[in-house]
Structure 1
Amino acid sequence: MRLIFLLFLTLPVSSQIAAASDGNELLSQCSVILEAMDGNKTGNATSREAVDATRCMSFVSGVSQTSTLYEASGKMSKPSVCGPDQGITTSQAVRIAVKYLKEHPQDLHQKASMLVMYSLMDAFPCGTVSKIGR
């Protein structure tokens, strides 16, 4: 009974932190955090901006980490993302996703999770020589 009550209490919060459904929504959410990271945001963030920034960072991080874990599990015959050995930061993954979304406006109607994967695959293709550290 306590568990059901606790789950009921978290419903309003979880609905506010819902993931972006498509590229349009993700780009909107991530633009807020990107402005803040670049120092272009002056003043305090509104509660809406804070929620959007949290949504973006959590979503992009979740997709990136899920991809890494799935590939590490050995269930894929060939990796789809070949990033640096030390991994990438969430802020770097957000920048990669936003860059991809801005460069592919014709795809913004697609699922946000797929677009984040495409952005990582585009940024870190497999079978190429890495430019990192050169």
Structure 2
Amino acid sequence: MVRIKILITIAILSSNILSDASAYFYDGNQLIPMMREGERAERSENGADYLKASRFMGYVTGVADALGTSVCLPDNVTIAQLGAVVTKYLNEHPDQWHLTGSHLIESALRTIFPCKQ
């Protein structure tokens, strides 16, 4: 849990420093390398790029927050769970990697946490 908090803090602090000058949004192909580093970090592999891992988790968390009530997340869902759900979805849907990152994250969250009609 502490590792996740550190990763998110790093992502927030680095997002302005490392971003391009122009407006920019991730697509799935750009999320995959960051996601892979997140998988490596979770396994505590030597050489894991924690900055890329934190950017992935920060982006997932930011999109989830921005979706607000349009996605029905349980009250007790954790950031780690959100990351795991999105990682599973991306691994299972490589045919969609050309889509925007926010679309992919929303699809992943809606698949696992559908709103009751």
What TM-score results when the alignment is normalised by the length of structure 2?
A: 0.73
Q: Where in structure 2 are there 5+ consecutive unaligned residues?
A: 1-13
Structure 1 residues 84 and 28, CA gap change in structure 2 (3 angstroms): same
Q: Which of 34, 43, 57 lines up with 2:46 in the alignment?
A: 43
Q: Paired residues, what number?
A: 102
The answer to whether residue 34 in structure 2 is matched with residue 29 in structure 1 is: yes
Matched, 1:111 2:114: no
Whose Rg is larger? 1
Runs of 4+ in structure 1 deviating by more than 3 angstroms, as ranges, are none
Is the 1:57–1:94 contact (alpha carbons within 8 Å) kept by the matching residues of 2?
Answer: yes
Residue 73 of structure 2 corresponds to which residue in structure 1?
83
Between Structure 1 and Structure 2, the one with more helix by share is 2
Identical amino acids, percent of aligned pairs: 33
Give me the TM-score of the superposition, normalised by structure 1: 0.65
Root mean square deviation, CA, Å: 2.6
DSSP 3-state at the match of 2:46: coil
> Are the aligned partners of 2:63 and 2:102 in contact in 1 as well (CA < 8 Å)?
yes
Unmatched 5+ stretches in structure 1:
1-9, 72-79, 129-134
